[in-house]
Amino acid sequence: MSLASETGKTGLVEGYHPLDVQTLPRYLGAIGTCAEKLGGGPDGWQVDEVGDGNLNLVFIVRGPSGSLVVKQALPYVRLVGESWPLPLKRAFFEQEALVTQIACVPERLPAVYHYDHEMALTVMEHLTPHIILRKGLIAGIRYPKFAEHIAEFMAQTLFRTSDLHLPAAEKKRRIALFCDNTELCRITEDLVFTDPYRIAELNRWTSPQLDGMAAAFRADAALKREAQVLKEMFMNRAEAMIHGDLHSGSIMVTQSETRVIDPEFAFYGPRGFDIGAVIGNLFLAYFAQPGHADATDDRQEYAAWILDQIELIWKTFQTRFLQLWEQEGHGDIYVAELFNDAEGAAVLADHRKACMQQLLQESLGFAGVKMVRRILGLAHVEDLESIEDPDLRAACETRALLLGRALIVNHRSYDTVTAVRHSAEKLQGGGEA
Amino acid sequence: MSLASETGKTGLVEGYHPLDVQTLPRYLGAIGTCAEKLGGGPDGWQVDEVGDGNLNLVFIVRGPSGSLVVKQALPYVRLVGESWPLPLKRAFFEQEALVTQIACVPERLPAVYHYDHEMALTVMEHLTPHIILRKGLIAGIRYPKFAEHIAEFMAQTLFRTSDLHLPAAEKKRRIALFCDNTELCRITEDLVFTDPYRIAELNRWTSPQLDGMAAAFRADAALKREAQVLKEMFMNRAEAMIHGDLHSGSIMVTQSETRVIDPEFAFYGPRGFDIGAVIGNLFLAYFAQPGHADATDDRQEYAAWILDQIELIWKTFQTRFLQLWEQEGHGDIYVAELFNDAEGAAVLADHRKACMQQLLQESLGFAGVKMVRRILGLAHVEDLESIEDPDLRAACETRALLLGRALIVNHRSYDTVTAVRHSAEKLQGGGEA
Going by C-alpha positions, the residue among B323, B322, B344, B324 that lies closest to residue B335 is: B344
Residues 164..193 of B with a Cβ closer than 8 Å to A: which? Answer: 168-169, 171-173, 175-177, 179-180, 182-183, 185-186, 189
Calculate how close chain B gets to A330, using CA atoms only, in Å.
14
**Chain A / chain B CB contacts < 8 angstroms:** 134
**Alpha helices, H only, A47-117:** 90-104
pLDDT tens digit at each of 433 positions of chain A? 334 344 455 666 678 999 999 999 999 999 999 999 999 999 999 999 998 767 899 999 999 999 999 999 999 888 788 888 899 999 999 999 999 999 999 999 999 999 999 999 999 999 999 999 999 999 999 999 999 999 999 999 999 999 999 999 999 999 999 999 999 999 999 999 999 999 999 999 999 999 999 999 999 999 999 999 999 999 999 999 999 999 999 999 999 999 999 999 999 999 999 999 999 999 999 999 999 999 999 999 999 999 999 999 999 999 999 999 999 999 999 999 999 999 999 999 999 999 999 999 999 999 999 999 999 999 999 999 999 999 999 999 999 999 999 999 999 999 999 999 999 999 999 643 3
- The chain A residue lying nearest B332, using CA atoms, is A189
Buried (b) or exposed (e) across B144-179, using 16+ Cβ within 10 A? eebbbbbbbbbbbbbbbbbbbbbebeebbebbbbbb
Measured between beta carbons, the chain A residues lying within 8 angstroms of B180 are 172-173, 176
User: Domain A4-125 maps to which CATH number in 3.30.56.10, 3.90.380.10, 3.30.200.20, 3.20.20.70?
Assistant: 3.30.200.20
**Which residue in A175, A341, A412 has the most chain B C-beta atoms within 10 A of its own C-beta, making it the best mutation to test that interface?**
A175
B237 touches chain A (CB under 8 A): yes
The CATH code of the domain at B131-428 is: 3.90.1200.10
C-alpha angle A169/A234/A148, rounded to 5°? 85
The Cα A331–Cα B419 span in angstroms is: 36
A219 touches chain B (CB under 8 A): yes
pLDDT value, residue B7: 46
Interface contact A237-B236, CB threshold 8 A: yes
Name the 3-class secondary structure at A39. coil
Residues 129..168 of A with a Cβ closer than 8 Å to B: which? Answer: 163, 168
B339 touches chain A (CB under 8 A): yes
Enter the ipTM: 0.95
CA-to-CA separations, A177 to A244, A273, B127, B162, B320, in angstroms, rounded: 15, 19, 39, 20, 34
CB B61, CB B51: distance < 8 Å: no
- The chain B residue lying nearest A220, using CA atoms, is B344
Interface contact B338-A194, CB threshold 8 A: yes
Q: Please give, one letter per residue, the 3-state secondary structure of B16-79.
A: CCCCCCCCHHHHHHCCHHHHHHHCCCHHHCEEEECCCCCCEEEEEEECCCCEEEEEEECCEECC
CB A268, CB A239: distance < 8 Å: yes
B74 class by beta-carbon count within 10 Å (0-12 exposed, 13-18 middle, 19+ buried): middle
Interface contact B180-A176, CB threshold 8 A: yes
Interface contact B163-A335, CB threshold 8 A: no
pTM greater than 0.90 (yes/no): yes
pLDDT value, residue A31: 97
- The chain B residue lying nearest A193, using CA atoms, is B333
Calculate how close chain A gets to B3, using CA atoms only, in Å.
14
**pLDDT for B229-252, tens place per residue?**
999 999 999 999 999 999 999 999
pLDDT value, residue B14: 78
For residue A344, give the nearest of B224, B332, B347 by CB distance.
Answer: B224
Calculate how close chain B gets to A20, using CA atoms only, in Å.
33
CB A293, CB A387: distance < 8 Å: no
Q: Domain locations in chain A?
A: 4-125, 131-428
- Below-50 pLDDT ranges, chain B: 1-7, 431-433
Measured between beta carbons, the chain A residues lying within 8 angstroms of B175 are 175-176, 179, 238
pLDDT value, residue B432: 39
CB B95, CB B115: distance < 8 Å: yes
